[in-house]
Amino acid sequence: MINLETPKKAGALVNQAYQAAAEVFRPISRKYDRAEHTYPAELDMFAALLDGLNSSGEGGAGASGVRRDDKSDAASSGTRNGANLSTVLGTIEMCWGDVGLLLSMPRQGLGNAAIASVANDEQLERFASIWAAMAITEPGCGSDSAAITTTARKDGDHYVLNGEKIFVTAGQRADAVVVWATLDKSKGRAAIKSFVVEKGTPGFEVVRVEHKLGIRASDTAVLRFEDCRVPKENLLGNPEIDTKSGFAGVMQTFDNTRPLVAAMAIGVARAALEETARILAEAGVTVDYDKPANSQHAAAAAYLELEADYESAYLLTMESAWMADNRKPNSLQASMAKAKAGRSVVDITLRCVELAGAVGFTEESLLEKWSRDAKILDIFEGTQQIQQLIVARKVLGKTSAELK
Provide the annotated active-site residues.
Answer: 381
Residue type, 299: A
- What single DSSP character describes residue 228? E
Contacts of 77 (CB under 8 A, 6+ apart): none
Residue 132: in which H helix or E strand, if any? strand 132-135
Task: Give just the sign of the alpha carbon dihedral 81, 84, 90, 92.
Answer: negative
> ∠ CA(277), CA(280), CA(285), 5° rounding?
115
Angstrom distance (rounded) from CA 366 to CA 102: 16
Coil, helix or strand at residue 73: coil
Q: What share of the chain is helix, strand, coil (3-state, %, to 5)?
A: 55, 15, 35
Crossing angle for the helix pair 47-55 and 83-97, nearest 10 degrees? 160
Q: How far from 297 is each of 282, 293, 304, CA to CA, in Å? A: 14, 8, 11
Q: How far from 20 is each of 50, 165, 205, 400, CA to CA, in Å? A: 11, 33, 34, 42
Q: Quick one: how far is CA 256 from the chain centroid?
A: 8
Angstrom distance (rounded) from CA 91 to CA 333: 18
* 66 HSE (CA, 13 A, CB side): 29
